Amino acid sequence: MKKTSYKIPYVLSYIIIILTVIATLSGIFGKGMYQDNLLVVSAWTGTDIITLLLGVPIFIYSLVLYRKKQILGLLLMFSMIFYSLYNYAFYLFSAALNSIFLIYVVIFALSFYSILVLVRKIDVDSINRKFKEKIPVKVIGGFMIIVAIILGVFHISLSLSYVVTGQVPDIVTNVNHPTNPIAALDLSFVVPVALFGGYSLIKKNRWGYLISVVWNVKGFVYMLALSSAAITGYINGATDTLMELMLWGPIGFGCLIMSYLLIKNIKEDSKFY
């Protein structure tokens, strides 16, 4: 792999990190910045906390490892770029217009184009050779497929119930939004990526290892963000239940375990160029 192949997403990652810090600090400490209802404001704030305290440090750590030419740095960088794309798609398309709207645009756009460059330039076969043979691919791939099915059935069921009954689901009415961006993004980014990545990993196809690391690391961080959002909403009185943690917690823990199983089986001193 050539170093120049990764120069663009590497440089853009620094910009994404800086803008993410600005966005999260503005959300956490900028009183009245969010213009949504209390439930949604609590969700934004809870997500900002995890993005700042966990997402940003992992992102920075990935770039440190990248500078040392370690394959783990490249994989973590890809994971956090994917997290930024997915996370800020919600802010960009769902948050009521606020003073840092343009920051959302830039983070989302830079993340999107960074992924395009990585997918085009990355040497997947070389990455696969950096993993040991003893990875429990069936366990990891099976977990990803199960989570994808659970999320897919949930979102599709809600949509079909609206078709049959004409009643807008609570997940839409509670946030005062005209549509369901959660289902839109999950059915576009989370479910198909998990299905393809999980199947590819089980079959040991060329994209399986890369997608599995990226999906699980991103999933771990985002499940913590959703858990934080739920807790923040409960503390603020926007909701009187923490039942969502019964879903986000196990999925997040599972993603953490799968990430560990993948990362610990990267060969020592593996370089990507």
pLDDT, one tens digit per residue, over 125-176 is: 889 999 998 899 999 999 999 999 999 999 999 999 999 999 999 889 988 8
Q: How far is CA 67 from CA 56, 58, 116, in A?
A: 17, 14, 21
Mapped onto helix, strand or coil, the DSSP state of residue 224 is helix
- Give the model's confidence band at 121: pLDDT under 50 very low, under 70 low, under 90 confident, else very high: confident
Give me 187's structure tokens: 């059915």
Confidence (pLDDT) at 7: 84
Q: Is the pLDDT of residue 267 over 60?
A: yes
**57 close to 20: Cβ distance less than 8 angstroms:** no
Q: 104: buried, middle or exposed (CB in 10 Å: 19+, 13-18, 0-12)? A: buried
* Residue 70, beta-bridge partner list: 271
Confidence (pLDDT) at 273: 63
Cβ within 8 Å of residue 57, ≥6 positions away:
none
Confidence (pLDDT) at 6: 65
Q: Is the pLDDT of residue 183 over 70?
A: yes
pLDDT in tens, 216-253: 999 999 999 999 999 999 999 999 999 999 999 999 99
CA distance 198 to 215: 10
Confidence (pLDDT) at 252: 97
- Angle (CA) 221-223-228 rounded to 5° is 95
Q: Is the pLDDT of residue 54 over 80?
A: yes
Residue 178 is given by DSSP the state: S
Confidence (pLDDT) at 271: 75
Closest listed residue to residue 224, CA positions, set 255, 198, 194: 255
- Stretch (H or E) spanning 6: none
Chain-centre distance for alpha carbon 212:
12
- Give the model's confidence band at 177: pLDDT under 50 very low, under 70 low, under 90 confident, else very high: confident
Confidence (pLDDT) at 8: 87
CA distance 195 to 46: 28
Q: Can you give the length of the chain in residues?
A: 273
* Greatest distance between any 2 Cα atoms in the chain: 58
Q: What is the mean pLDDT of the chain?
A: 94
Q: Is the pLDDT of residue 188 over 70?
A: yes
